[in-house]
A and B are shown apart, each in its own frame.
Chain A
Amino acid sequence: MLEYTRVRGIPGLRSASGLNQRFIPGSGSFFKMGSTPRRRLIALLLLLAVGFLVLLARLFDVQIEQHSKYTKLAQGNILRIIPLPPLRGAIMDRNGVVLVGNSTNFVVSMIPDEVIDKRKTFSILGQDLAVPPSVLEEAFDRMRDVLPNYIPVPLMAHMSTAKVGRVSMDIYRLPGIVIQTIPQRTYIQGPMAAHLLGYVGSLTVGDMKKSYARHLPPGTGIGKTGVEKTFDDILQGEPGESRKLVDSQGSVIRKLSPRYPTQGHSIHLTLDFRLQKAAEDALGDRRGAVVALDPNNGEILALASHPSFDPNLISSALTAKTWNGLLNNPDHPLTDRAIQGLYPPGSVFKVVTTMAGLKAGVIDPAKPFKCNGIIFLGGWAFHDWKKGGHGTLHLRRAIMQSCDIYFYRAGMALGPDKIAEMARNFGLGLKTGIDLPSEMSGTVPDRDWKMKRMHQPWYPGETLPFAIGQGYLTVTPLQMARLMGVVATRGFLSTPHLFLSTEHSVRFQTESIVRKIPVEPTSFSPLREGLWAVVNEPHGTGHPVRMKEMEIAGKTGTAQVISNRIPAGGTAHVKIRPDSWFVGFAPFRNPKIVVSVLVENGGDGGDVAGPVARAVFKEFYQDYLSHPESQPDLAANKKEQRF
């Protein structure tokens, strides 16, 4: 009867109590806790009740907690979304010359879901396109597995209009074949300005992490280098999509209205295509770089690097062979020498030594100096580039003829730290902040740097090459243009940039573009006088640059190279021809342009880099200054002979 009281709670049991004994299996049963069938039935009921509760909890979890997840999956079942890529914005120079645009690429594609007879389709298409059907079949098989069956698989791109016409005529017997027009990025000027423009490539997983690129469809072109990369968010545009409602067989039930893509914004660069062309033409086949910029605001007018490459080849049908060819080319055509090439500046650096000397008082422009072509330090002899020396000279002629001994002496008096400080004032050793990716900063050595990098103290003998722009010092051609801009503006360091405006709005530069450096404006005069003489005096090293129409000032450099830029089969540390530099500005009295030219292993600065710079200056003069009315104050300035 104990069992009976325990299950008293079950309704109706009371009335059956008298019958309990009638089917008691007894205490020998294995299931002690439910020693009668009735009580075991209640255990079973409880078990099922637990099952019901678990089921209810699961239903709540699936239907309520995970509702949105499953709703999305349900929509994914019925919605076929085909992305429509946006048209990328164009890139133009400051005068509206289109540098990068889009052309139409006719692609014949096959929608696997809609093809009826694949073999027949390939054979008809093969005839129309004048290719063996196997070629089309291979193209199809290559892409087949990576795409869903309702996305068109491209079979052949870049079709001629004649072929498009032939396929269109046959389209009625080619179910599942579509002709798509896909925008193709076109670099109208080919290899010209290729480095700064950059190129587009296919969207990668890494790119999709960027906030604006998150919803771009895979395969969309995205800027990989240059302006294409920096301003990708402006150029890109918004993709659209066409949406269809389908059933489980893939048959279209209804087409929903598509969301059309939004075209990307076009941008104007500060670049002047005429100057860019002049620079590249003047550089010719030689390896090197040319930078032209407006020192007053940092606008880049030309930015050339040679050898170059054709971005069209990379952006459209890039093959592994082409790409490896570019990567393994010993001349490194993919490197933008203007912002990534690191070179010793050679004598152009004497600009910095002069200013450091003037500031510290170790150079007195009025004091004569005797150069006999050699100087001794710690038992080592340091020679001037000119055997026998320059004789007695002042600062003006020391700059004009690039006297090494004069600046060795100044450097010894200054020590490395003061030269380095002034170099950094001029923006060396730092990134210029140009709106291009992967800029290099170069090296400005001093005592701390050497201790950190080489765990050695600075040797006095190292100050001398430093003072004339050799040794550990490395710079980019862009940094040198910026440096000369400081001289041209008497103390204003600009941030070089390529971005001018978009079609609709100007992007505001939040940082100040031009920064005053801690040097007295008047103290530039003796230096400027020397730089004027370099070009305009008959014995100046930069005399080949001289123009009658416009006064140019500047500095040559012939930098000794001990480098690992070794010709094939050579050994390490081969002394090869020096790098050739000319960095100058014009018009002298009211500077509007700075030009920096570097020719790798070119030889003498004035003779090799000079004419390249002159070509750019000349183009600038013709485009901007040849009409007197556009420069009314030019004549007025001429009277005032002040440096």
Chain B
Amino acid sequence: MNKIPVSYVLRSYPYFLLDIIGLILAGIVVQMSIDWHLALRQGIWALAGVGIFLILVNIPYKTILKHSLPFYGFLLALLILVKVAGHQSHGARRWIGYGPVMIQPSEFMKLALVLALVWVFGKMDGKEGLSFGKVLLATSMAALPGILIAKQPDLGTAIGLFFCLGVFLFLRGIRSRTFFTALWISVILLPIGWQVVWNHLQGFQKDRIRTFLNPESDPSGLGYHTLQSMVAVGSGGWFGQGLKGATQVRFRFLPGAHTDFAFAVFSEEWGLVGAAALLLANAYILWFGYKTAVLCRESRGFFLAAGLTSLFGISFLVNASMVVGILPVVGIPMPLLSYGGSALLVSMMGLALILNVRTHEET
């Protein structure tokens, strides 16, 4: 594994890089239309992200993967620390840090989990399917932080972790017997499990699920988020209302406009044309990531690229579906577009690792 000059990497994949820069700028414009303070902070995080991006591209991913487990363990410890001494905001305890630098360990946990799962599944040993022990190990690796995060409460991120696990299990392949055993156990345990989960859900989480199952039940109350989001998206039309005309955003009718509903803001301001362009930009990233995985001649690189790309794609799809009312409101931010330093850093780190796999495998 030779070191590859950064300048060479940057020159080799200009479209991928321009795509990422474009999406980050789109996010900053969205933040600017809400509050320039947000845009400024997001910009600073983005600059920090660029630095980390350049560093990560430069270190061979196999070197990075050696630190998977310590990284995972460190973040698990941070999550416990958050639980004990985290900062509270809007009723949730998610942040840790000092002064203006607040990070959200749960976001980083997504990345750590992918790396950890690559460690579990990455070495192909030629055996048929996965052993039960490995499945159990992987499941507990996802479940441990998952429960901690769900308790913050941050159901969206916790669900994201289980999506990761699912993707890895699917790609690695499970033995029929393992799969069906797990299925039967799930079917038997589902009613009990649902009761346990339901009892542990927070009131607002239950309400969100209820509202989603029956949106008419309370159009003015809990469906408010979804309704205002769809009003924002729908009033965008073909070319959008522009930064000044987007009244849903300007007059603060859209709750969580800068985070979970940034895509709604973007759609109101730029219309279907803008939203379709955004879709295309994200689709290109997915294409690039999956192509990287397929091209990779080494199994850990394959799983790393596939896992990170899937995490990115699923986050995008779930968030966008929630904004247009296809899925219930779960707190999964849109990669690169939503406000949030940790989420932005994690996205950029993930993309850097994809590019890393691409460059270090092709040469």
- A-side interface residues toward B, CB under 8 Å? 10-13, 15-16, 19, 22-31, 35, 37-38, 40-42, 44-45, 48-49, 51-52, 54-56, 58-60, 62-64, 66-67, 69-71, 73-75, 77-78, 246-249, 253
Q: Are B253 and A30 in contact (CB under 8 A)?
A: no
A52 adjacent to B293 (CB under 8 Å): no
B283 within 8 A of A: yes
A47–B326 Cα distance when bound, in Å, is 16
Of the listed residues A44, A60, A247, the one surrounded by the most CB atoms of chain B closer than 10 A to its CB is A44
The answer for the CA separation of A51 and B321 in the assembled complex, in Å, is: 9
Nearest Cβ in chain B — how far from A508, in angstroms?
48
State whether B294 touches A16 (Cβ < 8 A): yes
Please report the C-alpha to C-alpha distance between residue A64 and residue B233 in the assembled complex, in whole angstroms: 10
Evaluate contact between B173 and A25: CB separation under 8 angstroms: yes
Query: CB distance B317 to A55 under 8 Å?
Result: yes
Q: Distance in Å from the Cβ of B221 to the closest Cβ of chain A?
A: 15
Question: How close is A33's CB to chain B, nearest CB, in angstroms?
Answer: 11
| 24 examples of A-B residue contacts, CB within 8 angstroms | A10-B294, A16-B295, A25-B130, A26-B127, A29-B176, A37-B173, A40-B170, A41-B294, A44-B167, A44-B306, A52-B317, A55-B320, A55-B324, A58-B325, A62-B230, A62-B325, A63-B267, A70-B230, A70-B234, A71-B234, A73-B231, A73-B234, A77-B248, A77-B251
Known interface pairs A22-B299, A40-B173, A62-B233; 11 further A-B residue pairs with C-beta atoms within 8 A, sorted by A's residue number: A10-B294, A26-B128, A41-B290, A42-B290, A55-B324, A58-B324, A59-B276, A64-B272, A67-B234, A67-B237, A74-B247
B238 CB contacts on chain A under 8 angstroms:
63-64
Tell which of B180, B234, B314 touches A69, judged by Cβ atoms closer than 8 Å: B234
Q: Is the CB of A59 within 8 A of B231?
A: no
CA of A299 to CA of B212, assembled, Å: 66
Question: For residue A247, which residues in chain B have a CB less than 8 angstroms away from its CB?
Answer: 251-253
Measured between beta carbons, the chain B residues less than 8 angstroms from A62 are 230, 233-234, 324-325
| A45-B230 in contact (CB<8A) | no
Q: Decide: A56 and B294 in contact? CB cutoff 8 A.
A: no
Contacting residues, chain A, for B227 (C-beta < 8 A):
73
B contact residues around A73 at 8 Å (CB): 227, 231, 234-235
Q: How far is the CB of A23 from chain B (nearest CB, A)?
A: 3
Residues of A within 8 A of B325 (CB): 58, 62
Residues of B within 8 A of A59 (CB): 233, 267, 272, 275-276, 279, 324
Report yes or no: A31 in contact with B279, Cβ–Cβ below 8 A: no
Q: Which residues of B contact A74 (CB under 8 A)?
A: 231-232, 234-235, 247-248, 253
- CB proximity of B299 to chain A, nearest CB, Å: 4
Which residues of B are at the interface with A, using a C-beta cutoff of 8 A? 124, 126-130, 167, 170-176, 179-180, 227-228, 230-238, 247-248, 251-253, 267, 271-272, 275-276, 279, 283, 286, 290-291, 293-297, 299, 302-303, 306, 310, 313-314, 317, 320-321, 324-326
**Which of chain B's residues have a CB closer than 8 A to the CB of A11?**
291
Indicate whether A44 sits within 8 Å of B310 (C-beta atoms), given known contacts A26-B129, A29-B176: yes
Alpha-carbon distance between A156 and B138 when the two chains are bound, in angstroms: 71
- The answer to whether B170 and A31 have CB atoms under 8 Å apart is yes
Smallest beta-carbon distance B355→chain A, Å? 16
Residues in chain B near residue A49, CB distance under 8 A: 283
Contacts of A22 in B (CB 8 A): 124, 299
Question: Chain B's nearest CB lies how many Å from the CB of A501?
Answer: 49
Min CB–CB distance B273 → chain A (angstroms)? 9
Interface centre among B126, B171, B272 (most CB of A within 10 A): B171
Residues of B within 8 A of A71 (CB): 234-235, 237
Enumerate chain B residues within 8 angstroms of A26, measured Cβ to Cβ. Answer: 127-129
A371 to chain B, nearest CB (A): 82
Partner of B247, one of A12, A64, A77: A77
- Evaluate whether A56 and B235 lie within 8 angstroms (CB atoms) in the complex, with A12-B294, A51-B317, A62-B324 already known: no
How distant is the Cα of A15 from the Cα of B363 in the complex, in angstroms?
A: 13
| Option from B171, B232, B235, B313 in Cβ contact (under 8 Å) with A37 | B171
Which residue in chain B gives the minimum CB-CB distance to A21?
Answer: B126
Contact, CB under 8 Å: A77 / B233: no
Minimum Cβ distance to chain A for residue B12 (Å) = 15
Q: Which residues of A contact B127 (CB under 8 A)?
A: 25-26
Chain A: minimal CB distance from B34 (Å): 13
- The one of B175, B179, B252, B295 in contact with A15, judged by C-beta atoms closer than 8 angstroms, is B295
CB distance from B359 to the nearest CB of A (A): 14
**Contact A67–B235 (Cβ < 8 Å):** yes
- Chain A nearest CB from B340 CB (Å) reads 22
Minimum distance in angstroms from A605 CB to a CB of chain B = 68
Do the beta carbons of B251 and A58 come within 8 Å of each other?
no
Query: When chains A and B are docked, how far (Å) is the Cα of A42 from the Cα of B299?
Result: 16
Compute how far the CA of A12 lies from the CA of B228 in the bound complex, rounded to whole angstroms: 44
What's the Cα separation between A75 and B175 when bound, in Å? Answer: 56
Q: Check if A12 sits within 8 Å of B171, measured CB to CB.
A: no
> A54 to B299, Cβ gap below 8 A?
no
Closest chain A CB from B144 CB (angstroms): 25
Are B275 and A48 neighbours in the complex by a CB distance under 8 Å?
Answer: no
Across the interface, which residues of B come within 8 angstroms of A25, CB to CB? 124, 127-130, 172-173
Tell whether, in the assembled complex, residue A44 and residue B170 are in contact, meaning their CB atoms are under 8 Å apart. Answer: yes
Given contacts A22-B124, A37-B171, contact A48 B324 (CB under 8 A): no
Which residue from B252, B293, B320 sits with its C-beta under 8 Å from A249? B252
Q: How many Å from the CB of B303 to the closest CB on chain A?
A: 8
Assuming the contacts A26-B129, A41-B306, asked whether A70 and B279 have C-beta atoms less than 8 A apart, the reply is no
Q: Is the CB of A63 within 8 A of B128?
A: no
Contact yes or no, B233 A70, CB < 8 A: yes
- A contact residues around B283 at 8 Å (CB): 49, 52
The CA of A10 and the CA of B176, in the complex, are separated in Å by: 28
In angstroms, Cα B267 to Cα A77, docked, is 18
Distance between Cα atoms of A67 and B230 in the complex (Å) = 10
Minimal beta-carbon separation of B67 from chain A (angstroms):
23
Chain A residue, CB-CB nearest to B125: A23
Is A40 within 8 A of B171, CB to CB? yes
Q: Give the residue name and chain of the A residue nearest to B255 (CB).
A: A248
**Could you tell me the distance between the alpha carbons of A404 and B275 in the complex, rounded to whole angstroms?**
94
Nearest Cβ on chain A to B358's Cβ, whole angstroms: 11
Smallest Cβ-Cβ distance to B251: which chain A residue:
A247
A24 — which chain B residues lie within 8 A by C-beta?
124, 126
Do B286 and A23 touch (CB < 8 A)?
Answer: no
A26-B128, A38-B294 known; A48 vs B231 contact (CB < 8 Å)? no
- Residues in B with CB closer than 8 Å to A29 are 128-129, 173-176
With contact pairs A56-B279, A69-B234 given, residues A248 and B252 touching in the complex (Cβ less than 8 Å): yes
Q: Is B171's CB under 8 angstroms from A44's CB?
A: yes
| A15 nearest CB across to chain B (Å) | 7
The residue from B235, B291, B295, B313 contacting A48, defined by CB atoms under 8 A apart: B313
Shortest beta-carbon distance, A279 to chain B, in Å?
Answer: 57
Task: Give bound CA distance, A28 to B126, whole Å.
Answer: 12
For residue A55, give the distance in angstroms from its CB to the closest CB of chain B.
Answer: 5
**Judging by beta carbons under 8 Å apart, are A64 and B237 in contact?**
yes
Of chain A, the residue at the smallest CB distance from B179 is A30
Give chain B residues whose Cβ lies under 8 Å from the Cβ of A70.
230-231, 233-235
| Chain B residues whose C-beta falls within 8 Å of the C-beta of A16 in the assembled complex | 294-297
Residue of A nearest to B295 (CB): A12
B146 vs chain A, min Cβ distance (A): 21
Contact between chains at B173 and A63 (CB < 8 Å): no
When C-beta atoms are compared, the residue in chain A nearest to B305 turns out to be: A41
Q: Please state if B237 and A63 are interface contacts (CB–CB under 8 Å).
A: yes
The answer to whether A41 touches B293 (Cβ under 8 A) is: yes
Contacts of B228 in A (CB 8 A): 77
Q: How far is the CB of B140 from chain A (nearest CB, A)?
A: 22
